[in-house]
Structure 1
Amino acid sequence: MFDHVKFGVTDYAVSKAFFLKALEPIGVAIVGEGPPEYGVELSPPNKPSLCLFQTGEKPAHLHLAFTADNRQQVDAFYRAALEAGGKDHGAPGLRPNYHANYYAAFVIGPDGHNIEVVCHQPEA
């Protein structure tokens, strides 16, 4: 559905480093970058992208959910996101209130956004 999602961050360098490290386990890398006011585009190969740019505005908090291919990627995201400075908002685990195989982890990023990585597949 989406080609890309772009939103402002209050500290471009901190947010860029956070998202690169936290989302590396699901194959996210820089695919394009300009000056901080234009921003950076992050994406796994041939997938929709996340774009960040420097702003002084305080946007409302977002909930961003990224797809993982397997539960190990969810676990790796959680560890990487905490190492990158994220705050725990839900350790990796099943969320059966969504559906039987909803395996996800949640962290709060540098601007207070709720960042999730989810796998919808049963355990291998």
Structure 2
Amino acid sequence: MFSHLFISVTDFDAAFDFYRALMAELGLELRFCEQEKPWAGWQSAGGARPLLVIGRPFNGQPHHPGNGQMVALNAANRAMVQRAYATALAHGGSDEGKPGLRPHYHADYYGAYFRDPAGNKLCVVCHQPEP
């Protein structure tokens, strides 16, 4: 469905450290990192798309996290959600909702919510029942 998602950041180095750790926890591969631009992108193992890209806004204006915007990333299982959440907080993220079931979405929705160091809201979610 998506070609790529671009998440703007203020401090590229802090954001790169955060996303590098988070993407590794989710099994996503670094496709590129160009410090001089600066921007970096990750992809699913062995796939070319979709990409998740971080970088400074292209127009050179200051970054502002969106109100009501969120990027949700898939996790293979609930343990991965828990590890990703812990990794996010350990790398400068802030809590927006601890890992747990959210049955108001559907019976097996297990997610965690947090913000990256630039204030962008993220979710890591598993839609599978516990084995």
TM (normalized to structure 1)? 0.91
**1:110 aligned partner:** 117
Would the aligned equivalents of 1:23 and 1:81 in 2 still touch at CA under 8 Å? no
**1:48 aligned partner:** 50
Secondary structure at 1:29 match in 2: strand
Would the aligned equivalents of 2:18 and 2:117 in 1 still touch at CA under 8 Å? yes
Deviation at residue 117 of structure 1 after TM alignment: 0.5
The amino acid that maps onto 2:5 is V
Q: What percentage of residue pairs aligned between the two structures are identical?
A: 34
The amino acid that maps onto 1:89 is E
Secondary structure at 2:83 match in 1: helix
- Structure 2 runs not aligned, ≥5 long: none
Partner Cα separation in structure 1 for residue 7 and residue 93 of structure 2: 18
**1:26 aligned partner:** 26
Would the aligned equivalents of 2:25 and 2:80 in 1 still touch at CA under 8 Å? yes
TM (normalized to structure 2)? 0.86
Secondary structure at 1:15 match in 2: helix
Partner Cα separation in structure 2 for residue 36 and residue 86 of structure 1: 24
Partner Cα separation in structure 2 for residue 75 and residue 103 of structure 1: 10
Would the aligned equivalents of 2:112 and 2:125 in 1 still touch at CA under 8 Å? yes
Would the aligned equivalents of 2:31 and 2:43 in 1 still touch at CA under 8 Å? yes
Partner Cα separation in structure 2 for residue 104 and residue 83 of structure 1: 18
- Structure 1 runs not aligned, ≥5 long: none
Partner Cα separation in structure 1 for residue 95 and residue 35 of structure 2: 31
Give the number of equivalent residue pairs: 124
1:11-90 → structure 2 map (5 Å cutoff):
11-45=11-45, 46=47, 47-55=49-57, 56-61=61-66, 62-90=69-97
Partner Cα separation in structure 2 for residue 107 and residue 66 of structure 1: 12
Which portions of structure 1, spanning 4 or more consecutive aligned residues, are displaced by more than 4 angstroms?
none
Secondary structure at 1:37 match in 2: coil
Partner Cα separation in structure 1 for residue 35 and residue 73 of structure 2: 25
